[in-house]
Structure 1
């Protein structure tokens, strides 16, 4: 998945001929603190509500800000991981998407990024989650996948978390099986450290226990 696939079509850019009040109203409508300014399909930069308030420029046109605008953007063919990195570095709620000639393609919001990434990475699909802790030198994706598949399940996605000044890593697995007890038992047999596990069965059982407790209380 690349940047142009993540664009949120609900957000329209501002123009440099717009006033500060128009910009603030549009930000309020979109519930955003930043918006891109685009003139004739050419990206000019990003303006924030703080920029407008600090200069008391609600009645002035945005072309007064062009020299000081934030120029952060992403190229439309960049990978989703580059998009995530750009959001992390910039700390912005939006990310303009441009072609190589600086022409504006659209805007990625944090919401559209999360929604698209969730769909692409099977996060929203039914199943269980297992978190393993192991040394980085012991990590073998093929062995982990074999353990999962030996229990009639499929590895849908995985994520590795590293720690500063440590050889330990956490491997988070998303599998397509709701009842993950047999998978957990197999990992234990292979001497894997299961740091955490989450399944829809556990949530259902928890809800049932809470319901039964409530019914018992009401019957007292």
Structure 2
């Protein structure tokens, strides 16, 4: 699921000539702590409640107010994991989305990313999830598929992403149609593939668990 598909159409951006009072009113209405400010279709930054609430003159326009997180955005084609990570790392509730022309498209809220996480087909239904870490030169989906299919298991989906713990490696996330990973893991490890996460019936650890734990900690759930 990509960022463009998660844009929240119900939350409009603020304009540079909107007032501080209006910004705070909208934040209360939409139940967010930040709102994007846009000028000539360009994203200018986030107006934040923590900053605006300290201002004495709430009739002044956002043009004269310090905006924050002007460099925190995602492109419309990025995966929703990138949206989640941008929100968590910067401790913000909304993430602006830009197009190829660097023009503002909309925002995604933390609740939107939670919904996307729950809807991911890779986390639904029967089967298992397996995450492998490897150097890019060692990546061969055809070889990995052959090893897995020799254990009478099919790959339902595959997703390649950077390994946050090792910038020289990539992560391969696989959704499999089998709930028993014991023989598959043994086979892959025999060929020196490193398993970093797994999810199967009765197992509480899954592909997105590290991100989900970070997200829940951020939301204080």
TM-score interval for Structure 1 and Structure 2 normalised by the shorter chain: 0.5 to 0.7
2-side partners of 1:20 and 1:46: how far apart?
Answer: 12
Residue 94 of structure 1, CA deviation: 2.1
**CA distance 1:64–1:170, change in 2 (3 Å):** closer
Q: Residue in 2 aligned with 1:197?
A: 198
Residue 88 of structure 1, CA deviation: 6.5
Q: Residue in 2 aligned with 1:4?
A: 4
Higher helix proportion (structure 1 or 2): 1
Bigger Rg, structure 1 or 2: 1
Q: Residue in 2 aligned with 1:14?
A: 14
**CA distance 1:18–1:133, change in 2 (3 Å):** closer
Residue 168 of structure 1, CA deviation: 7.5
Q: Give the structure-1-normalised TM-score.
A: 0.63
Which structure 2 residue ranges, 5 or more long, are not aligned? 205-221
2-side partners of 1:50 and 1:179: how far apart?
Answer: 49
Q: Residue in 2 aligned with 1:217?
A: none
**CA distance 1:72–1:134, change in 2 (3 Å):** closer
Q: Residue in 2 aligned with 1:106?
A: 106
Work out the number of aligned pairs and report it.
Answer: 199
Q: Deviations over 1:156-186 (max 9, x none)?
A: 1245526459x77765433232333443354
Contact 1:132 1:193 in 2 (8 A): yes
Q: Say what the alpha-carbon RMSD is for the aligned residues.
A: 4.2
